[in-house]
């Protein structure tokens, strides 16, 4: 009998040893994948976290937090999670709904009486739910230039007021087009109800009870923390350090600073029914059903890697099905940093990827590989797939930009290039964005925004009516055409803009500017 028991114990120990050895092998494989991902996409640093069945299986940083300081990236390094903050905004509103302080179908004007949309009907009908489901009729990123890139002068009050000048691209509630400005308005709803700033409410009512003790509701509130990233963006094909901050005006759309341990704590809280480790339920099941239900559907490719049938936006999260499982996911992006947060609730699985470069291919490589492992899918070599795809895309983008600048250079050498300063110099104004000044400096022309001081650069003649705005900050990768409309005397009266390349981030919302000459 003793020999039999010893055999059982030995077998159990062997199984346990095998499981541990397997886990170690997988950890080493993931370490290797992350390192190769950093190299492939030129990402200085990345931190990754996995939680399964309430246990943290992986929480590591790789690479450096800053190319400037060479400080190592670890799991505790703070990163701006950007639009992954939207889930917190939606949760805050759900808490207020549970407390009877709002209903999802309450009109926005109930809380912000002065609020107006471009269309008077939409002003009367738009609800709190409409604000956070990307269905208010605004286009992709429309209005983002009011706070993007960082360093702008407009306040939350200014942005809430200026929304009335944004001419919608779609019918109200007819289509989902991702939009940040409506989340800023939603944040103001929270402030009007509670008297707290958005960051204060998030820290006090969500982060603290959940146990996210290292996180902050805004970049400014984390300034004293030494262990945080510098942002990095590619310039001339190589990642360089760029400013990493965030306008306080847009905190409700993307202001949170967090790290792997805290984001895994957040994931565990959500997976367990929005319940804290102490057993306190912060959001009712009634509200969770609203948050994690598709409120605004979107199209999905018939053939896709996870056999997804349904896809759309809930309240603060993208909702879809992957291989028959419900997925709750969001990504976030600032200049020089992108992040991804993924939950498969019925599998009690959470995956977090935080980076200090702006390559979405990098976080997709990690998330999809980990997700495939738990879904029982054979290794599909996502690194190779995304690496080859991005190499081709980047080559095409660079080729296209070079052709445009070559055309501009040829035009400048032609007899047709005759620019009289009085034709274009002066002040141009857009009602929601503000003043843009065009000046002459010696033999060159300059463009500069008053409300977005970092948005300035040289104007390069491209054709008889068009210039290229070549921004001083080359990390933006957002050079744009400036197309003038002249009067009968050859003097510019107005101008439109559009990016010269599809590589430009949608938040450089040049297409929606309607610049009219005022001086």
- DSSP labels, 280-335: -BSS-HHHHHHHTS-SEEE---SS-TT----EEE-SSSEEEEETTEEEEEEEEEET
What backbone phi and psi angles, to 5 degrees, belong to 89? -60, -45
| Contact partners, residue 473, CB within 8 Å, separation at least 6 | 149, 242, 454, 457
Structure tokens at 249: 């005006």
Q: Do 398 and 336 reside in the same domain of the chain?
A: no
| Prediction pTM value | 0.93
Q: Do 297 and 429 reside in the same domain of the chain?
A: no
**Beta-strand pair 456-461/55-63:** unpaired
**CATH code for the domain in which residue 118 is found:** 3.40.710.10
Q: Is residue 33 part of a domain?
A: no
| Ramachandran class of 115: left when φ > 0, alpha when ψ lies in -120 to 50, beta otherwise | beta
Residue 99 burial by Cβ neighbours in a 10 Å radius (0-12, 13-18, 19+):
exposed
Q: Do 261 and 399 reside in the same domain of the chain?
A: no
- DSSP labels, 87-153: HHHHHHHHHHHHTTS--TTSBGGGT-TT---SSHHHHHH-BHHHHTTT-SS--TTTTGGGT-SS---
Q: Do 405 and 281 reside in the same domain of the chain?
A: no
**pLDDT given for residue 147 in this prediction:** 95
Structural domain ending residue among the three candidates 337, 353, 380: 380
Q: CA–CA separation, 254 vs 199, rounded Å?
A: 11
**CATH code for the domain in which residue 452 is found:** 2.40.128.50
Task: Give the 3-state secondary structure of 326-379.
Answer: EEEEEEEEECCEEEEEEEEHHHCEEEEEEECCCCHHHHHHHHHHHHHHHHCCCC
Q: What per-residue string of b and e applies to 154-178 under the rule 16 or more CB within 10 Å gives b?
A: bebebbbebbbbbebeeebbeebbb
Q: Do 355 and 472 reside in the same domain of the chain?
A: no
Query: Is the CA virtual torsion 429, 498, 155, 119 positive or negative?
Result: positive
Tally of structural domains, the chain: 2
Per-residue pLDDT of the chain (519 residues; tens, 9 = 90+): 433 334 334 444 433 443 444 344 489 999 999 999 999 999 999 999 999 999 999 999 999 999 999 999 999 999 999 999 999 999 999 999 999 999 999 999 999 999 999 999 999 999 999 999 999 999 999 999 999 998 899 999 999 999 999 999 999 999 999 999 999 999 999 999 999 999 999 999 999 999 999 999 999 999 999 999 999 999 988 999 998 777 889 999 999 999 999 999 999 999 999 999 999 999 999 999 999 999 999 999 999 999 999 999 999 999 999 999 999 999 999 999 999 999 999 999 999 999 999 999 999 999 999 999 999 999 999 999 999 999 999 999 999 999 999 999 999 999 888 888 889 999 999 999 999 999 998 889 999 999 999 999 999 999 999 999 999 999 999 999 999 999 999 999 999 999 999 999 999 999 999 999 998
Q: What per-residue string of b and e applies to 426-436 under the rule 16 or more CB within 10 Å gives b?
A: bebebebbbeb
What is the residue range of 113's domain? 41-380
Query: Can you tell me which residue has the tokens 């029982």?
Result: 376
Q: Are 138 and 173 in contact (CB under 8 A)?
A: no
Q: Are 85 and 334 in contact (CB under 8 A)?
A: no
Q: Do 326 and 425 reside in the same domain of the chain?
A: no
Q: Do 243 and 193 reside in the same domain of the chain?
A: yes
Q: What is the DSSP letter of 207?
A: I
Structural domain ending residue among the three candidates 380, 403, 421: 380
Q: Do 297 and 196 reside in the same domain of the chain?
A: yes
**Beta-strand pair 337-344/480-486:** unpaired
Q: CA–CA separation, 137 vs 169, rounded Å?
A: 6
**pLDDT given for residue 416 in this prediction:** 87
**Beta-strand pair 325-334/337-344:** antiparallel
Measure Cα distances from 299 to 169, 303, 324, 430, 454 in Å: 18, 12, 17, 33, 36
- DSSP labels, 452-497: STT-EEEEEE-SSSEEEEEES-GGG---EEEEEEE-TTS-EEEEEE
Structure tokens at 72: 């190592």
Report how far Cα 351 is from the mean position of its chain's Cα atoms: 17
Q: Are 342 and 359 in contact (CB under 8 A)?
A: no
Q: Is residue 8 part of a domain?
A: no
Q: Do 350 and 405 reside in the same domain of the chain?
A: no
Q: What is the DSSP letter of 71?
A: P
Structural domain ending residue among the three candidates 345, 380, 415: 380
Q: Do 372 and 416 reside in the same domain of the chain?
A: no
Q: Do 171 and 45 reside in the same domain of the chain?
A: yes
Instruction: Identify which of 49, 51, 33, 29 has the alpha carbon closest to the alpha carbon of residue 41.
Output: 33
Q: What is the DSSP letter of 239?
A: E
Q: CA–CA separation, 215 vs 211, rounded Å?
A: 9
């Amino acid at each position: 009998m003793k020999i039999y028991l010893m055999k059982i114990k030995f077998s159990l120990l062997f199984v346990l040893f095998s499981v541990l050895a397997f886990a170690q092998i997988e950890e080493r494989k993931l370490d290797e994948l992350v390192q190769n991902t950093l190299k492939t996409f030129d990402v200085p640093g990345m931190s990754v976290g996995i939680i399964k069945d309430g246990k943290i299986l992986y929480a590591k940083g790789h690479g450096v937090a800053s190319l400037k300081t060479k400080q190592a990236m670890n799991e505790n390094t703070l990163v701006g999670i950007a639009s992954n903050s939207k889930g917190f905004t939606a949760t805050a509103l759900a808490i207020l709904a549970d407390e009877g302080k709002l209903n999802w179908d309450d009109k926005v004007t109930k809380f912000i009486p002065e609020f107006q949309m471009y269309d008077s009907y939409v002003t009367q009908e738009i609800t709190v739910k409409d604000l956070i489901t990307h269905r208010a009729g605004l286009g992709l990123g429309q209005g983002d230039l009011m706070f993007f890139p960082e360093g702008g002068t407009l306040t939350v009050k200014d942005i809430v007021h200026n929304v009335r000048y944004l001419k919608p691209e779609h019918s109200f509630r007819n289509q989902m087009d991702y939009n940040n400005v409506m989340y800023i308005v939603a944040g103001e709803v929270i402030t009007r109800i509670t008297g707290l700033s958005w960051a204060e409410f998030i820290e006090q009512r969500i982060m603290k009870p959940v146990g996210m003790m290292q996180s902050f509701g805004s970049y400014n509130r984390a300034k004293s923390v030494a262990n945080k990233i510098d942002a990095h963006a590619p310039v001339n094909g190589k990642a360089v350090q760029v400013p990493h901050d965030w306008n306080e005006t847009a905190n409700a759309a993307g202001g949170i600073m967090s790290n792997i341990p805290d984001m895994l704590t957040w994931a565990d809280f959500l997976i367990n029914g929005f319940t804290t480790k102490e057993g306190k339920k912060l959001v009712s099941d009634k509200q969770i059903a609203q948050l994690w239900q598709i409120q605004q559907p979107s199209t999905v490719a018939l053939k896709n890697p996870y056999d997804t049938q349904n896809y759309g936006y809930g309240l603060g999260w993208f909702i879809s099905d992957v291989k028959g499982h419900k997925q709750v996911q969001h990504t976030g992006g600032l200049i020089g940093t992108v992040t991804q947060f993924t939950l498969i609730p019925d599998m009690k699985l959470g995956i977090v990827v935080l980076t200090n470069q702006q390559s979405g291919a990098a976080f997709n490589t990690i998330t999809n590989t980990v997700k495939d492992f738990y879904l029982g899918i054979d290794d599909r070599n996502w690194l190779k797939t995304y690496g080859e795809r991005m190499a081709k895309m980047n080559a095409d983008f660079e080729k296209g930009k070079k052709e445009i600048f070559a055309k501009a250079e040829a035009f400048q050498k032609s007899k047709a290039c005759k620019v009289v300063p009085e034709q274009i110099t002066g002040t141009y104004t857009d009602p929601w964005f503000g003043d843009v000044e065009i000046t002459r400096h010696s033999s060159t022309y300059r463009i500069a925004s008053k409300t977005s001081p970092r948005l300035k650069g040289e104007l390069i003649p491209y054709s008889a009516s068009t210039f290229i705005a070549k921004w001083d900050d080359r990390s933006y990768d957002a050079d744009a055409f400036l197309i003038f409309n002249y009067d009968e005397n050859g003097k510019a009266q107005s101008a439109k803009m559009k990016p010269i390349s599809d590589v430009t981030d949608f938040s450089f919302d040049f297409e929606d500017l309607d610049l009219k000459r005022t001086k």
